[in-house]
Amino acid sequence: MITPVDATTTEAWADLKVLKDALVPDLRGWFEADPHRAEELTFDLADLRVDLSKNLINEDIVAALVRLAEQVDVAGRRDAMFAGERINVTENRSVLHTALRLPRDAELTVDGQDVVADVHEVLDRMYAFADQVRSGEWTGVTGKRIETVVNIGIGGSDLGPVMVYEALLPYKQDGLECRFISNIDPADCAEKVADLDPETTLFIVASKTFTTLETLTNARMARDWFLTRLAEAGVVDDTDESRRAAIAKHFVAVSTALDKVADFGIDPANAFGFWDWVGGRYSVDSAVGLPVAIAIGPDGFRDFLAGFHAVDTHFRTETPERNVPLLMGLINVWYVNFYGAHSHAVLPYAQYLHRFAAYLQQLTMESNGKSVRWDGTPVTSDTGEIFWGEPGTNGQHAFYQLIHQGTRLIPADFIAVANPAHPTLDGDTDVHGLFLANFFAQTAALAFGKTADEVRAEGTPEEIVPARVFAGNKPTTSIMAPALTPSVVGQLIALYEHITFVQGIVWGIDSFDQWGVELGKKLALDIAPAVFGDAAALSRQDPSTQALVRWYRDNRV
Ligand SMILES: O=P(O)(O)OC[C@H]1O[C@H](O)[C@H](O)[C@@H](O)[C@@H]1O
């Protein structure tokens, strides 16, 4: 095993400390002093235009950050990842989500296995199935075409598909709808199936491990609902054969554990596999994306994958000084470790990206929320960031106050597209233009603030001048794209995957395991007997938990 370099002992880290101590943030002054600042810090990455110039950085800081990347060998680890080396040390696995988007003619053999051939074999099956559902060739047990696809999954088997489905709604085929059941709260399943016709509904049970309590419980509830409704309609009788025939037309699975899929009663012919080298939170571009492939069609899904691949190629080949995921990851390190930033806002000015922050929470926080390094030694600096956000302009009317005038530094990524799916006029006003005016205005206000003199010049009474001053120097990155196409959504995801990777390498952590979540799964199973009345199991719990369980049992009607 390669020992992680302790970033805090590098020369670059020491240089960054000196630079931080000497830096007086002054975005107004920096832009005035250097008319080329915006140009010099704006980069094109596939279809994305990324402006880093409103960050608290200068040439020396960027150079030191790039040296830091060299001194912790980000490039070496990146190449190891792309080559399929087992960089997920604690699980002894390769990390090859980048292989999921390799073109058919690419070559990658890992442990003697032609990974590209495997990936495309599954993609071809997904595309054929998606075409069948979209054309109506695939019918339910009573011969009706599928109108609703219900994905049952959680974590990486839910957040990616739902985010991308929502992002690409304008590309969805008319007459087809997707829904997503994830929470084990029975309300989720009940609400999502309430108005559905089982004869036109297709369930996709998505679980990498096919052992996740929430997903298997929801899948069983959905199966019961489905069979009960069909029995009431006289479509199935109570023979196994009749039930199996109905399930075969209405339940498919996505998993790495195809044996467990068969145990659940889903025909293995209707299962789409992936591999243990795809982390759950990195899996939307695998068969986990099946609902998206059905909704937007194989051509759209191919574009989606091509978007990821374009960013992969950039990350793998671009020089450090122009490598956008590398720079963004390093700038995040700058804020976390040198400014003590705890959180990071993601603010899409695109309603269709309304689940993007939720998606990024799993990607970034499950990846980098760690306190030991990949060799088991404690981390030597803060790690991780709390990712959060809501679409603009809604966020402006809720939490932007704290970003503008609070005491905490919250770096924020603003995302917008030039061409909306719904160009709409309000009288003579282009509403999307008005929307984007907010995007531009907010990043400028955050960067440049408003001085007391400017506030006074507006005629503000002296006693409330301080309350109306904006300090400015609140860092933002602006990301723009021509339109929210499948490719652009793929590009955005890959960008954040690689940003997360870069941060993980600087911190020396394994960004691809999630032992903290595994514990939660086990604890819930341990306590379940107590909830159901097992006195001995209850007595093993701590006093607070015992009292809470008792209260629950006393109050449960
Ligand atoms: O896809 P599954 O095996 O059902 O796992 C679903 C989720 O389970 C856990 O929460 C893991 O931490 C996630 O990374 C994973 O995405």
CB 493 within 8 A of CB 52: no
Domain 7-72+318-507 has CATH 3.40.50.10490: yes
Catalytic entry in 199, 366, 390, 497: 366
User: For residue 283, is pLDDT > 90?
Assistant: yes
Owner of token pair 């671009």: 318
Protein residue whose Cα sits closest to atom 4 of ligand 1:
207
Cα 451 to Cα 456: distance, rounded to the nearest angstrom: 9
- Tokens representing 307? 């978007």
User: For residue 426, is pLDDT > 90?
Assistant: no
User: For residue 526, is pLDDT > 90?
Assistant: no
Measure Cα distances from 348 to 356, 393, 478, 484 in Å: 8, 9, 10, 11
* Rounded mean pLDDT, 156-185: 98
CATH number for the region 105-298 comes to: 3.40.50.10490
pLDDT of amino acid 293: 98
CB 2 within 8 A of CB 15: no
| ipTM for the whole complex | 0.97
* Rounded mean pLDDT, 310-326: 98
Report which ligand 1 atom has the smallest distance to the Cα of 288.
1
Cα 543 to Cα 474: distance, rounded to the nearest angstrom: 46
User: For residue 416, is pLDDT > 90?
Assistant: yes
User: For residue 508, is pLDDT > 90?
Assistant: yes
Is residue 397 annotated as a catalytic residue, yes or no? Answer: yes
Confidence of residue 289 (pLDDT cuts 50, 70, 90): very high
Owner of token pair 């959180």: 343
Is residue 521 annotated as a catalytic residue, yes or no? Answer: yes
Instruction: Give the sign of the dihedral formed by CA 22, CA 503, CA 340, CA 344.
Output: positive
Domain boundaries defined on the chain: 7-72+318-507, 105-298, 516-555
Mutate to test the pocket of ligand 1, among 157, 214, 522 (most ligand atoms within 8 A of CB): 157
pLDDT of amino acid 1: 82
Classify residue 504 by burial, with Cβ atoms within 10 Å: 0-12, 13-18, 19+: buried
Is residue 249 annotated as a catalytic residue, yes or no? Answer: no
Cα 177 to Cα 133: distance, rounded to the nearest angstrom: 12
Per-residue pLDDT reduced to its tens digit, 51-86: 999 999 999 999 999 999 999 999 999 999 999 999
Q: How many angstroms is it from 253 CA to the middle of ligand 1? A: 15
State the chain's mean pLDDT as an integer: 97
Confidence of residue 190 (pLDDT cuts 50, 70, 90): very high
Catalytic entry in 144, 191, 397, 518: 397
Per-residue pLDDT reduced to its tens digit, 219-277: 999 999 999 999 999 999 989 999 999 999 999 999 999 889 999 989 999 999 999 99
CB 336 within 8 A of CB 382: yes
pLDDT of amino acid 485: 98
Cα 280 to Cα 501: distance, rounded to the nearest angstrom: 15
Q: How many angstroms is it from 56 CA to the middle of ligand 1? A: 36
Instruction: Please state the three-class secondary structure of 330-343 as a single string.
Output: HHHHHHHHHCCCCE
CB 121 within 8 A of CB 115: no
pLDDT of amino acid 213: 92
Percent helix, strand, coil in the chain, to 5, is: 55, 15, 30
* Rounded mean pLDDT, 405-409: 97
pLDDT of amino acid 370: 97
Nearest partner of 254 among 233, 274, 269, judged by Cα? 274
Q: Which helix (H) or strand (E) holds 29?
A: helix 27-33
pLDDT of amino acid 520: 79
Cα 513 to Cα 93: distance, rounded to the nearest angstrom: 10
